[in-house]
Amino acid sequence: MSETYTTIIGLEVHVQLGTQSKLFCGCSTKFGAEPNTQTCPVCIGLPGSLPVMNREAFQLALKTAAALDCEIPSHTKWDRKQYYYPDLPKGYQISQFDLPMSANGFLEISDPKSRFEPKRVRIRRAHLEEDAGKSLHDEVAGKADSLIDLNRTGTPLLEIVTEPDLKSSLEAKTFLNDLKLLLMYIGVSDCNMQEGSLRVDANVNLHINGIATPIVEIKNMNSFRAVERALDYEAQRQFTVWQETGKKLGDVPKQTRGWDDAAGITRGQRSKEESSDYRYFPDPDLIPVAVAAGEWKNVQASLGELPAKLRHRLESDFTLSAYDAEVLVNQGQPLVEYFFEAAKAGGSAKLAANWVSQVVLRTLNEKPDFSIETFPISSGTLGRMIEFIQSGKIPSSRAPDVFAKLVESGSNDVDVTLVSLGIERVDESELIELCEKLLAANPKTIADVRAGKTQAIGALIGQAKKQNPNIDPARVREISLQLIDKMAD
Ligand SMILES: [Zn+2]
């Protein structure tokens, strides 16, 4: 009998909070400056310097805790985590150990394609800490040097730790996408993975016949795709190790492995440290932080509508499919607002969703100078255009022309645009007359259709369009077939 296994995954996400200055000093956090130009005695740990907490960083952390439905203690404190790194000049990192600023939250995830059951992923804790600097190796050609850039040292990080509730790489990727979207909606981070604003480590092991394999922590994953690949690789690797050495599993220590994206494998780095190795102790230079009940309530009230609720509203109030709601919400608040306004104009919400999620988005992708906030077609204008399409004032075949003209001209007057494009409603009687004329001139088409080749009608549609670009091709097809049917009687 072949054995099956369950993959158990927990994630640790480090999010750089979007403050102007660092967590315990006034140095800038701007990305990309000349190395070592954004430092001061506090963040490089000179003797006698004293840290002062950045209130804004704490506020952003509170906002995130509220969005993740965490509980917060009445007060929280700072601890020193001792370890030596060349890019950590103090020899310790200020973090939070046994009294994190928030804990016991959750984030609900679901898959619009229903590949897994919707689930609640528990958040064990979210705590604040300062970032380390960066070591750069072999940057200068021909010199095997290592360089240190301390600009990042002391930047505020929120570490979000989940319970091991995720059961597949897809669930893990979905959680990360949803978390990122949530963080962007509440405006606490730009979540730019290339610039290191969002970093992910994953803990993974297997449950096989009631036995748990040792936990492996995977590091160095630079994209959500990398997380997905690394988890799939690691699960398979652990299963192979189990098959080969199953009985000895109890002796294998916890391990940290690095993901090598080019090779598509994880490599062993070191055995995983226990928290006792870090010799945590309360930082004597920083006082505990208390959060008043009223302040916490204010933060909770300030969150606005979060992605999950928005998706739900789009599905229930606007009858969009789960997929359409997901596409819109994933683009961020401004686009959702734009859709709401366009849908309010009275046309069908489904049609508005199609236009926004397909045509408007495509235009935004094609023209990098445009943003939804400065889009040449206002949401109201798009709504009016959709209403006209529905009422037949704009034939659907000509709607793309109207849209393109509105974008190009920057005019928000749909009526004027229709005139300038020569678009006018074609009456039913006009259409019938046109079809009759075309059929009379094309006896071969009639014969073909009677012989069962209905696609022969295509030739008529082409001719009809030439005579009147405003005709609706689908109607020409319908009417012509009806007329041919009647002739047969
Ligand atoms: Zn500084």
* Least confident piece of the model among 56-70, 282-296, 331-345: 331-345
Q: Taking 50 as the threshold, does the pLDDT of residue 95 lie above it? A: yes
Burial class (CB in 10 A: 0-12, 13-18, 19+), 297: exposed
Map tokens 């001719």 to a residue: 463
Distance 44 CA to ligand 1 centre (A): 7
Q: Taking 80 as the threshold, does the pLDDT of residue 275 lie above it? A: no
What percent helix, strand, coil does the chain show, rounded to 5? 45, 20, 35
Q: Mean of the pLDDT values across residues 117-126? A: 97
Distance 33 CA to ligand 1 centre (A): 14
Q: Mean of the pLDDT values across residues 212-232? A: 94
Q: Taking 70 as the threshold, does the pLDDT of residue 287 lie above it? A: yes
Q: Taking 80 as the threshold, does the pLDDT of residue 253 lie above it? A: no
- In this predicted model, what pLDDT tens digit does every residue of 11-70 receive, in sequence order? 999 999 999 999 999 999 999 999 999 999 999 999 999 999 999 999 999 999 999 999
The pLDDT value given to residue 140: 75
Residue 1: which pLDDT band, with cuts at 50, 70 and 90?
very low
Distance 45 CA to ligand 1 centre (A): 9
Instruction: Tell me 166's DSSP state.
Output: B
Residue 372: which pLDDT band, with cuts at 50, 70 and 90?
very high
- The token duo for 307 is 């992605």
Contact 393, 425 (CB under 8 A): yes
Cα distance between residue 93 and residue 216, in whole Å = 24
The pLDDT value given to residue 393: 85
Distance 132 CA to ligand 1 centre (A): 12
Distance 165 CA to ligand 1 centre (A): 38
- In this predicted model, what pLDDT tens digit does every residue of 453-484 receive, in sequence order? 888 888 888 888 888 888 888 888 889 988 98
Distance 29 CA to ligand 1 centre (A): 9
Q: Mean of the pLDDT values across residues 290-311? A: 94
Q: Which residues surround ligand 1, an ion (CB under 5 A)?
A: 25, 27, 40, 42-43
Average pLDDT of the residues of the chain: 91
Residue 249: which pLDDT band, with cuts at 50, 70 and 90?
low
Distance 22 CA to ligand 1 centre (A): 7
Distance 128 CA to ligand 1 centre (A): 17
Distance 64 CA to ligand 1 centre (A): 25
Q: Taking 80 as the threshold, does the pLDDT of residue 252 lie above it? A: no
Burial class (CB in 10 A: 0-12, 13-18, 19+), 165: buried
- Name residues whose C-beta falls within 8 Å of residue 390's C-beta, 6 or more positions apart in sequence: 347, 348, 351
Distance 82 CA to ligand 1 centre (A): 20
Distance 327 CA to ligand 1 centre (A): 41
Distance 325 CA to ligand 1 centre (A): 43
Q: Taking 70 as the threshold, does the pLDDT of residue 119 lie above it? A: yes
CA 306 to chain centroid: 13
Distance 191 CA to ligand 1 centre (A): 22
Distance 57 CA to ligand 1 centre (A): 15
Distance 30 CA to ligand 1 centre (A): 12
Distance 43 CA to ligand 1 centre (A): 4
Q: Taking 80 as the threshold, does the pLDDT of residue 138 lie above it? A: no
Distance 51 CA to ligand 1 centre (A): 9
Distance 27 CA to ligand 1 centre (A): 4
Q: Taking 80 as the threshold, does the pLDDT of residue 329 lie above it? A: yes
Burial class (CB in 10 A: 0-12, 13-18, 19+), 285: middle
3-state secondary structure 40-86: CCCCCCCCCCCCCCCHHHHHHHHHHHHHCCCECCCEECCEEEECCEC
Q: Mean of the pLDDT values across residues 367-374? A: 89
Q: Taking 50 as the threshold, does the pLDDT of residue 379 lie above it? A: yes
Contact 157, 128 (CB under 8 A): yes
Q: Mean of the pLDDT values across residues 289-302? A: 96
Cα distance between residue 38 and residue 51, in whole Å = 16
* Closest C-alpha to 107, from 183, 202, 167: 183
Distance 273 CA to ligand 1 centre (A): 29
- In this predicted model, what pLDDT tens digit does every residue of 394-435 receive, in sequence order? 888 889 999 999 999 888 888 888 888 888 888 888 889 999
Distance 275 CA to ligand 1 centre (A): 27
Q: Taking 50 as the threshold, does the pLDDT of residue 2 lie above it? A: yes
Share of the chain above pLDDT 70, in %: 97
Cα distance between residue 337 and residue 215, in whole Å = 44
Distance 253 CA to ligand 1 centre (A): 38
Distance 280 CA to ligand 1 centre (A): 23
